[in-house]
Amino acid sequence: MQRRQFIQAAGAAALGALAGPALAGAAPAVRITLPSPGSAGSAWRALIERHGLNTDPSLSLNWVTADPGKMQVQLSAGSLDVGVFGAVGLATLANRGSDIVLFGPALNNHGRWLVRGDSPFRKPADLLGKTIATTDESSETYQQARIAASLIGIDLKKDVKVIHGSPTANLALFERGDVDAIITLEPTATRVVARGAREIARVADIWKQATGQHEDPILLGLAANRAWYEANRATAAKLVALLQRVNGLVRREPASLLAIASQIGLKPDETKAAGLLPSRLAPAYATRWDESVFAVIDKQVEVAAKLGVIDRVPSRKLYVGAGAA
């Protein structure tokens, strides 16, 4: 009997050792959105793991495949702790009562205006009256492109014909010649340029030229329900620091993208596109989360309200952290 009790006790001790931190009250893994290949954010997990950037044993990440169209539901349902949102989309939700907040940097705007290599168009203004393909009308990619264009006198709702669709469908329309231009994100834009398309504008450059700012505007920030953020401030701060490390790595060492080209959606034979990634994609990775970023978010929301993209400027700020209330 004593032998049996000893074996049971030893087994329980072994299980306890395996469970370890969980039984000791360690914070559970953060369920964070896993961007799909073909998006700039898909580089995060690959780079973090490849370079061992998560050096904090108390910060455990559970990468969850998240549909951008369902992210609010996933956050609200508790199946996702941390997602990514842009200012315009979040403002829309805030006006409907959502309490999701931005708390750290994710990606700067990396939208591109592209035409075919033999196109006569040289700048966005040349496309007045023409046809452009881009993402869904409610997507942050389109909304921020519309905001930036409005600052230089182009109304994408009135001055051009816009066809909204999936990136794959838009690319097919573009390559068949059914549309005159495409507005798309990286790394798709780089893949198209490598095939002979010509870039005529960056959404970030249009924004900077119109506002006099020197930094690319934020496209997406880390987002969570305020209740989760308030209950997990220390974890949120560690997550922000981790994203700043991985994004900072790309900004300092753009060539780090070459080793993970396949993991962000490039095919093995797309060597030309892969070679273009370091110079074209690195600026997309945001590292700042301060008053200058908050001013950009406020400006994006202000212009969106003036354009009628959102009903009104939300009564609350959309961001927290780094001294923001």
Q: What tens digit of pLDDT does each residue of 32-57 get?
A: 998 888 899 999 999 999 999 999 99
- The dihedrals phi and psi of 65, each to the nearest 5 degrees, come to -65, 125
Is residue 304's pLDDT more than 80? yes
Range of the domain at 197: 112-211
Identify residue 120 by its one-letter amino acid code. Answer: P
Q: What is the mean pLDDT of residues 216-226?
A: 96
Does 250 reside within a domain? yes
C-beta separation of 198 from 119 below 8 A = yes
Residue 7 located in a structural domain: no
Q: Are residues 283 and 200 in the same domain?
A: no
CA distance linking residue 123 with residue 128, whole number of Å: 10
56 in any annotated domain: yes
Residue 262 sits in the same domain as residue 195? no
**With contact defined as beta carbons under 8 Å apart, do 90 and 140 qualify?**
no
Q: How much is the mean pLDDT over the chain?
A: 89
Interacting residues of 174 by C-beta distance below 8 A, sequence separation 6+: 114, 116, 133, 181, 182, 192, 197
Q: What is the pLDDT of residue 321?
A: 84
For the ranges 8-17, 64-73, 254-263, the lowest mean pLDDT is seen at: 8-17
- Mean pLDDT, residues 266-278 taken together: 95
Tokens of 64: 């969850």
Tokens describing residue 28: 């559970």
In a domain, 84, yes or no: yes
- My answer on whether 168 and 233 are in the same domain is no
pTM score of the predicted model: 0.89
Distance CA 273, CA 286 (A): 22
For residue 129, the model assigns a pLDDT of 97
Asked if residue 196 and residue 230 are part of one domain, the reply reads no
**Neighbour tally for 194: CB within 10 Å:** 19
